[in-house]
Amino acid sequence: MTAISRVGVVGCGVMGAGFAEVCVRSGVDVLVAVSGPDALVRGRDRVTRSLAGAVRKGRITEAERDAALARLSFTVGLLDLADRELVLEAVPEHEPTKLEVFSALDKIVEDREAILASITSSIPIVRLARATDRAGYVVGLHLFNPAPVLPLVELTGSLLTHESTCARAASFATDVLHKEVIRSTDRSGFVVNALLIPYLMSAVRMVESGFASASDIDKGMTRGCAHPTGPLALVDLIGVDTVVAVGKSLYEEFKEQLYAPPPLLVRMLEAGLLGRKSGRGFYDYR
């Protein structure tokens, strides 16, 4: 099994930057493709600040930080990803956008056995695979935020994915990135979000109905159930936009009300109250 040494990342938001950082810290050459010069500056700054934080906390040395940054480069557009052996799509959780990216990557990435992966948390992998002529090499690699810290990767192959592709992706995640891998069948939400989203939506409904405040709900789960983060603070961390998108995807597939985003969450999305990324969600971060 050929080792993967050249990785591409499409998008450098929170999850794209996190995956890029994990890779460069593991000795992998990473090229990040972004949409324009402003996104390039934001993406580079995001990774640089995270690595600086890792140095402050004693997780890596300054020399390791410098070596990681030397393995990281950026480009505007997708064409420079032609020589990559694995490309991870990490654009927002919007199916038409992801389909467009996969269709483009199929034409650009020269190695026909290169792995095309998605960080999606809810969209069935087969839909993305069908946007390409190499469905056997498309997988889901869902990391969790913050990716440099949390040890889990959710690996999903579709009905069309070669088992050898899944094996190679799993080997990369465990042997190179030093992550733990769990496998899921190709259904919306996979394992973690199929369990997590109903819990988050239930907490939002409690706030919406006036049953309890966000802070009391979160305190109940952190102090009473030993959860590291309360559900409303977790919605803010993940992003209201992402939670709504995942909930809608799950509801579309299963038609079960427990997955449906409550009106309060939809109104927050429409108001731009997205959580930490916007400065305000269930809590104020400004």
Catalytic site residues? Answer: 121, 142, 154, 193
Query: What phi, psi does 166 have (nearest 5°)?
Result: -60, -40
How many residues would you count in the chain? 286
- 209 annotated to a ligand binding site: no
Distance of CA 168 to the CA centre of its chain: 20
> CB under 8 Å to 248, separation ≥6 — which residues?
260, 261
- Is 215 part of any known ligand binding site? no
User: How far apart (Å, rounded) are the C-alpha atoms in residues 5 and 171?
Assistant: 13
- Tell whether residue 103 is among the known ligand binding residues: no
Render 30-83 in DSSP notation, one character per residue: EEEEESSHHHHHHHHHHHHHHHHHHHHTTSS-HHHHHHHHHTEEEEESSGGGGG
According to DSSP H, which parts of the chain are helical? 14-25, 37-56, 62-70, 95-108, 125-129, 163-171, 192-209, 214-225, 231-238, 240-254, 263-271
**Sheet with 152-157, edge to edge strand ranges:** 72-76, 29-34, 6-10, 86-89, 115-118, 138-143, 152-157, 180-184
Task: Judge contact between 155 and 184, C-beta under 8 A.
Answer: yes
